Every structure is written in C-alpha cells, then in structure tokens.
Amino acid sequence: MTHRNSQSSPAKTIGIDLGDRVSAVSIRNADGDIIERGKLSMTKDACWRFFANHPGARVVYEVGTQSPWLTWLLRDMGHETIVANPWRLKLISQSLTKSDTKDADLLSEFGHLKPSMLSPITHRGPENHATRTVLSARSALVGVRTRLINCVRGLMKSMGERAPVSSAASFHKKLWIPDSLRPALAPLREQIKSISEQIKAYDKLIETMGKELHPETKRLRQVCGVGPVTALTFACVIEDPHRFQKSRDVGAYLGLMPRMRQSGNSDPQLSITKAGDRALRTLLVQCAQYALGPFGKDCDLRRFGLRLVERGGKSAKKRAVIAVARKMAVLLHALWVSGEDYEPLRHNHHAKQVS
C-alpha cells in the first residue's frame, strides 16, 4: 500500500526487516546515504515513538504477519508506506550473505531508488482484515478436522477395519468404533464432533457477516458452486472491484494464469503462477471442481470446462479445473461491477437470439 506521492523524493527512506519481536532498521537521507541503523521493538507504542521522530518518511518493508497493523499505524501518522512483494525480492531471500541489517539496507535502497521494482501490495483495512480472521480461523479448524479424520481412517485400516464413507460434517455420526479401538478412537471422535460444531457456528457467523457487511456476496453466490465462504473471501480479497481496469485482470491477480518462459523457439506449457491470495485461489479451484463434478448444474462454466476435458491430453481434467476457476474469478468480478444478475446459460441464450 503506497500513500502520498511515491514519485517525489522523501526527506528520509526507512527500510525495515520485520522480525517477530525486534526488527532491523536502516535509514537513508534524501541523497540516499545511510545515516542510521538500529533495532526496533515490534510493539505499537515503540513503533509510534520511533516514527514520531521521523515525520514524513517513506517506510519500506516486506509483507508479513506484522505488516498489516504496522501499515495502519504508519498511515495514521502520515507516513508513506511501501509493502514490498516478496516475489520481487529474491535478491534478499537468496543472498549468500544474508543478515537482518543487510536486508534492511536493501529495502531502504530499493525504496529510495526504485520503489516500483518492489511491486507494492495493498493491505486491507482493519475492518476487512477482521473479517478475514474469521475466515482464516474457520479454515484452520477445517484443516484440523481433516487431519483427525484421516488419522482415524488410517488407524482403523491398520487393524483391518474401515471407516464409513461420509462427508466430514457427518463423519462423527456415522463412525462405528470396534471395542478393541475404542480407547484410542473414542476421544478422537469427540474432538471431531466438537470441531464440526464449531465450524457450523463459524458458518452461521460468515452467513451473517456476508449479509450485513458485504451485501454483494448475495449476487456472487448465484454462480454455481460459490457458497458463503467463497463469496465473502472474494469480497474481502478484492475489496475494491474498481481497482481492476478489466475483469480479466483478476485471474492473473489471483495467480490462476500460466507462467511464461518463452525463449527463441521454445514456449513450454507451464503451471500457473500461484501469485496472490492462496486461500481464495484454493476456494475457487474447489468451486470449479464442484461445477465440473456430478452435482454441478448446467451452465456456461460447466460446458466450457467439459469441452476442455473432452479434448483429452495429459492432465486435461486438471487444466480444465484451473481454467474454470480462472473464468469463475473473472465472472464474479464482472457481476460485482455490473450489478447484473447471473445468467447460467448466457452464451447459449445469446446464440439463440443471433440465430
């Protein structure tokens, strides 16, 4: 997130190599010379006192766990902030003489000479970030439940038994435990039951948050396979749909576009970039899998994906899922911006009108 005019040269450029408790700091003057190095305690009070002594500075640091609250603090203090994209900082991460002080020096140097090379990212506002914490907490519980269920299945299989085929939500209800395994598996079943109830509570909260905080999610959920979790995640990640000039840009923003390594006559087919928000990309892929699966409804997205599958070839189904996920991201953005209702078979309808 860049505030104020990043083209003008500030009086000071401060590079911070963010740490868990203490961060390394490098300060340059308007001429680009290092005038101070030091350490900064990563508490709100300590950061406020430090940056109050450097008004109007340009502050550069990598995205990380601590970067959101630091961005909000610096923004309120009137500083210019540049949150560097780690994908563009391999000079730092792959350095053979890496240290916190040198990393801070490089960040301040980039921030002074060429801020655009850092591909600055935009942090969400505090309210939006708070919504994401609910989604992240739910995701963490889903991951724990999945691991516990897999553990139960593996332990039963080792004893010649089989766990029931069921959804994760109903697994604890259908699970029958033999007497010989009851001491080991009964506590796990109770844990799975408790986690499922907590996930259900999160689902109700997410449903409410979508209605009250992000009414656009109602329109997004019209698309086949998109539920309240995906819709709310999409709304939080995109935040402002008008910052994209074209809906097609959203696919690249979420890392769903193929990588390119063209050289001469060589133009290999590569995997997607996987840039952007991992959680949303994963959810869109899951939605695409549902849309192409046996329970998916007939729509343009499904027809498009099935045509790709029919072409055959290596990993045809996998490529089709990614393509549908990318197309779904573009569609969700277009619906959000236009305010139109979703037409599942819009292309088919238009083809009939033309004929």
103 and 34, same structural domain?
yes
Q: Residue 89: inside a domain, yes or no?
A: yes
Residue 260: the pLDDT is 62
> Taking the CA atoms of the chain, what radius of gyration do you get in angstroms?
25
Residue 120: the pLDDT is 82
Q: Residue 58: inside a domain, yes or no?
A: yes
Quickly list DSSP for 168-216.
Answer: TTTHHHH----GGGHHHHHHHHHHHHHHHHHHHHHHHHHHHHHHHH-TT
- Of 118, 135, 156, the residue at which a domain comes to its end is 118
202 and 269, same structural domain?
no
Q: Residue 2: inside a domain, yes or no?
A: no
pTM of the model: 0.83
Residue 6: the pLDDT is 45
281 and 182, same structural domain?
no
Q: Residue 1: inside a domain, yes or no?
A: no
Residues making up the chain, counted from first to last: 355
137 and 96, same structural domain?
no
Q: Residue 23: inside a domain, yes or no?
A: yes
Q: Residue 16: inside a domain, yes or no?
A: yes
The predicted-structure confidence for 265-287, as pLDDT tens digits, reads as follows: 655 666 778 888 999 999 999 99
Per-residue pLDDT of the chain (355 residues; tens, 9 = 90+): 444 444 567 899 999 999 999 999 999 999 999 999 999 999 999 999 999 999 999 999 999 999 999 999 999 999 999 999 876 666 665 665 678 899 999 899 989 988 887 878 888 889 999 999 999 999 999 999 999 999 999 999 999 999 999 999 999 999 999 999 999 999 999 999 999 999 999 999 999 999 999 999 999 999 999 999 999 999 999 999 999 999 999 999 999 988 766 555 655 666 778 888 999 999 999 999 999 999 999 999 999 999 999 987 778 999 999 999 999 999 999 999 999 999 999 876 555 554 4
Residues spanned by the domain of 92:
12-118
Residue 269: the pLDDT is 60
Other C-beta atoms lying within 10 Å of the C-beta of residue 304:
16
317 and 240, same structural domain?
yes
Q: Residue 139: inside a domain, yes or no?
A: yes
- Of 190, 213, 236, the residue at which a domain comes to its end is 213
303 and 255, same structural domain?
yes
Q: Residue 232: inside a domain, yes or no?
A: yes
CATH number at residue 25: 3.30.420.140
Residue 4: the pLDDT is 44
User: Is residue 264 helix, strand or coil?
Assistant: coil
β-strands 22-29, 12-17 pairing: antiparallel
185 and 226, same structural domain?
no
- Of 213, 230, 262, the residue at which a domain comes to its end is 213
The predicted-structure confidence for 66-109, as pLDDT tens digits, reads as follows: 999 999 999 999 999 999 987 666 666 566 567 889 999 989 99
The total number of structural domains in the chain stands at 3
187 and 294, same structural domain?
no
340 and 269, same structural domain?
yes
Let me know: does 35 contact 134? Beta carbons within 8 Å: no
Q: Which whole-number Å values give the CA distances from 180 to 163, 183, 286, in the listed order?
A: 14, 7, 37
98 and 20, same structural domain?
yes
161 and 97, same structural domain?
no
226 and 319, same structural domain?
yes
